[in-house]
Amino acid sequence: MGDILELIQSRRTIKYFLPKFVSWENVAKVIDAGRHAPSCGNVQNWKFIVILEPESKQVLAAACYEQYEIVSAGVLIVVCNELEKAERYYGLRGEKLYSIQNCAAAIENMLLEAHSLGLGTRWVGSFDEEEVRSQLKIPEEVRPQAIIALGYPKEIPPRPPKYPLETVVYFHRWRNKLRDPAKYMNDIATILARKASAATKSIQDSTRFIVDKVKKKADSVPTNPVSPDTED
């Protein structure tokens, strides 16, 4: 199975969308990715409301504190959290934590599937929850957790800064870092790859050095002022 890291790293939050139709086939694939996410006890406490009509998108964009750029996205998908499903089995932790984590896992799956299909997304979390609930007739016990704007990107923004790996990883306890985790974990593959890369760099440096030397030597040899082809 392939490593999806490149896909994860290249996904971006899209600000502007082309006013282009997104097929149901693609929308269905994106939602399918969401419903296959892990969830506590496999409770699958989610529902997805698909918004296609421009007027409804306009109303939702207004409820998202005027994020009107999402209106041009082909589809808006409102991810709804049925918290009581998680609460039933896991009490307060299920309601307040797991239910949200489950939906967040579904959302991230959806963003990645969309990206793999050449579509762009914006995860919108900033909205007036009561306004969205009343517009979409979502019952009291269900929480609209996020709105995913899905469409064809007008432009791909540059990657925002992400904290380097070594700054976000501790070993064994809070704040404890390892100088060389690969060495500590006896990760032969990483150590060999590192050595191979150092050897490649050293060969490249030596080659460059030799080429420069040969060039300098060639430049210092005086050129024959009379070309052998020239006839006087």
Ligand X SMILES: Cc1cc2nc3c(=O)[nH]c(=O)nc-3n(C[C@H](O)[C@H](O)[C@H](O)COP(=O)(O)O)c2cc1C
What is the contact surface with ligand X in residues (CB under 6 A)? 12-13, 67, 122-126, 160
Contact 22/75 with Cβ under 8 angstroms? yes
Instruction: Give 86 or 147: the residue with its C-beta nearer to ligand X.
Output: 147
Instruction: Give 101 or 190: the residue with its C-beta nearer to ligand X.
Output: 101
Locate 231 and state its tokens. 């006839």
**What is Dmax (Cα atoms) for the chain?**
103
Residue 132 C-beta: closest distance to ligand X, Å: 12
Nearest to 34 by CA among 121, 143, 161: 121
Locate 15 and state its tokens. 């600000």
Distance, in Å, from the CA atom of 112 to the CA atom of 39, rounded to the nearest integer, reads: 17
Instruction: Give 56 or 101: the residue with its C-beta nearer to ligand X.
Output: 101
Residue 218 C-beta: closest distance to ligand X, Å: 50
Residue 5 C-beta: closest distance to ligand X, Å: 14
Residue 161 C-beta: closest distance to ligand X, Å: 10
Question: Nearest residue by C-beta to ligand X?
Answer: 125
Distance, in Å, from the CA atom of 39 to the CA atom of 10, rounded to the nearest integer, reads: 25
Contacting residues for 98 by C-beta, under 8 A, at least 6 apart: 39, 40, 43, 86, 90
Instruction: Give 165 or 189: the residue with its C-beta nearer to ligand X.
Output: 165
Instruction: Give 122 or 143: the residue with its C-beta nearer to ligand X.
Output: 122
Residue 126 C-beta: closest distance to ligand X, Å: 3
The radius of gyration of the chain's CA atoms, rounded to the nearest angstrom, is: 28
